[in-house]
Amino acid sequence: MLEVVISIFVILFAVVVVLAAAAFLVMEAIDKIDSLRDKAPWLVKLIERRESLNVLLAVCVFLLLGNGYELVMKEIPEVPPPPSVKFITPPPPLVVQPTETPVVKVITPQPKQRAYISFLEPVVTFTVGSPLSVKFGCQTTSDVPAQKVSCNAQSFIVPVSNGDVSVEDERKIYTEFEAASRPNPEPERPTVAKGQVTNGMIPSAIVTTDEETLLNGPKFALLITGSLFYEDDFGSHRIDMCRWVQPPLSAEPKVWHYCLVHEGIVN
C-alpha cells in the first residue's frame, strides 16, 4: 500500500513540475513579446494580423529555441571533462647480485710445546787388552728442538745377586756418578733438532784378565749411569739414566735392564 502512495506522489510531483515549466515558458514568451513591442512595433503589428498566425507560431518557436539555447549555454554549468586516468608502471625490479662474503682467516696462536730428548741404548765393545768401549747418545724425539743439550754418562762394575742388581747398589752408584758429573759448559751445549743425535764415549781403562773374568761371569754386571740436561720454552729439564747389562757381558744380543731408581724424566 505504501508503494502505491509513493508512486502517486511521484507522478503528481512530475505533473506539477511539467506545468510549472510550461507556465515559465509562457511567461518568458510574453516577456519577449513585450520586449519586441518596444523595440520592433512593426513586427508586432504584423503578427497581430490573423493571417500572421503561422508567422507568430514560427516566432514563438524561434524564441523558445533561443530561450532553450540561452538556458543550456548560460544557466546549466559546463560539464567538466572526465578525469584523466594515468597509469604509472612500476619500475622494474632491481636485481642485486650477491657479493662474495670475505673469508676471514682466524690464526690462532699455537700453544707452546715441550721438547723431548732421551738416551739411546748404549753400545758396548768388550775385548781383553783394549779399553772398554761404551758409546752413548741422546736423540730428540719431539718437533721442538732441545736447546743447550748436555749428555753425560759413566760405566761401573756392580755385583749381581740372584740375577739382579739391588736397589741399594743402584742408588749408591748413581750418587757417586752425580757427585762427579756436571753439565757441560754453555758453549759446548748444542741445540739438537728432531731426529738428531748428540753422541758421546765413556772413557775407560784397558780391560784386564781379572775384569774379563768378572764381566763374563754371572755375579757381576756392567752398569751405565747418565744425566741429560737441556732447555726449551718451558725452562730447564733433566733426565736420568741407569741401566745394566744382563751378564755375561760377552753374550749377544745384549739384554739391558732399567734400574728401579734414577731412570727417566726428573723435571
Task: Note down the domain range covering 75.
Answer: 1-107
Write out the three cell numbers for 162: 740372584
Same domain, 135 and 250: yes
**Structural contact between residues 152 and 180, judged by C-beta atoms closer than 8 angstroms:** no
Q: Are residues 12 and 143 in the same domain?
A: no
> 257 and 127 in one domain?
yes
pLDDT at 78 > cutoff 70: no
* Overall average pLDDT of the 112-121 stretch: 90
Residue 42 has pLDDT above 70, yes or no: no
Residue 109 above 80 pLDDT? no
pLDDT at residue 76 above 60? no
Round the average pLDDT of the chain to a whole number and report it. 81
Tell me if 151 sits within 8 A of 237, measured CB to CB: no
One domain for residues 67 and 15: yes
- Count: domains in the chain: 2
Alpha helices in the chain (DSSP H): 2-39, 41-48, 53-70, 167-180, 209-215
Same domain, 134 and 210: yes
**Distance separating alpha carbons of residues 133 and 197, to the nearest angstrom:** 18
Give residue 106's pLDDT: 76
Distance CA 84, CA 15 (A): 40
pLDDT at 230 over 90: yes
Please tell me the distance from the alpha carbon of residue 221 to that of residue 215, in angstroms, as a whole number. 6
Both 88 and 142 in one domain: the answer is no
Residue 112 in any domain: the answer is no
Question: Is 27 within the bounds of a domain?
Answer: yes
Q: How far is it, in rounded angstroms, from Cα 261 to Cα 170?
A: 7
Q: Which is nearest to 230 in space by CA: 118, 68, 111?
A: 118
Whether 234 shows a pLDDT value over 80: the answer reads yes
Q: How confident is the model at residue 75 (pLDDT cuts 50, 70, 90)?
A: low
Same domain, 208 and 178: yes
Phi (first) and psi of residue 43, to 5 degrees: -70, -35
The answer, yes or no, to whether residue 84 has pLDDT greater than 80, is: no
Mean pLDDT: which of 58-67, 200-209, 245-254 is highest? 245-254
pLDDT in tens, 51-72: 556 666 676 777 777 777 666 6
Same domain for 249 and 129? yes
Contact partners, residue 124, CB within 8 Å, separation at least 6: 132, 133, 134, 222, 245, 249, 254
* Pairwise pLDDT comparison (5 vs 123), residue with the higher score: 123
pLDDT at 31: 65
pLDDT at residue 116 in the model:
92
Q: Taking the chain, what is the end-to-end CA distance rounded to the nearest angstrom?
A: 122
Instruction: Please tell me whether residues 76 and 128 are part of one structural domain.
Output: no
